[in-house]
Amino acid sequence: TTSLPSVGGSTTTDYSGLANHGNLSSTSFSVFTTPPLGWSLYFNGSASVSVASTTNIDLTSTMTLMAYVYPTSLTASHIIISKGDSDVDRNYILEIDSSKKLRFSVGDGVSSQNVVTSTAMTTNTWYFVGASFDASSNTATLWLSTSQDFTSTITVNPAANTDKFVVGADNGGANRLTS
């Protein structure tokens, strides 16, 4: 469980007991407190949340990443969740790529592998997005809204790295999410 800041705050608090507290890159966040999502952040293209690297966010085996997004611009790549900043160094990433499709990628420090949905996203629409990786079968599955959109085998196993976990941008602060 995460507690979001009031508008203008600089941190988010992790109440899971794992102390994965987040730092806001900007004080220009808007916080929504009403449905459909309750407490959520509006990413304006210049803001992100970063969490220092810890072993419990270095997902190196079976994992699931999920988010609700409402893209207002799809003119470039928009990163939703990332751990790492270059394809081969990246532990994992979930993003809307430049073709407006959901992309999940894992990297092992030497190479990376991607899975991309078959369906393109549109602006000004709420989407539930998700990616799962089953390490026992090396299967990656992507969800767009409530439908399984694509499943594929991934032969690259994600490797740990020392990069930050970031919501709304990559580790270097590029490809920011606009929602």
The 3 state secondary structure assigned to the chain is CEECCCCCCCEEEECCCCCCCEEECCCCCEEECCCCCCCEEECECCCCEEECCCHHHCCCCCEEEEEEECCCCCCCCEEEEEECCCCCCCCEEEEECCCCEEEEEEECCCCEEEEEEEEECCCCCCEEEEEEEECCCCEEEEEECCEEEEEEECCCCCCCCCCCEEECCCCCCCCCCEC
pLDDT (0 to 100) of residue 73: 86
Q: What residue ranges of the chain have pLDDT lower than 70?
A: 1-9, 26-40, 85-89, 171-179
pLDDT (0 to 100) of residue 171: 64
pTM summary value:
0.84
pLDDT (0 to 100) of residue 6: 45
- What rounded mean pLDDT belongs to the chain? 81
pLDDT (0 to 100) of residue 25: 80
pLDDT (0 to 100) of residue 1: 41
pLDDT (0 to 100) of residue 66: 92
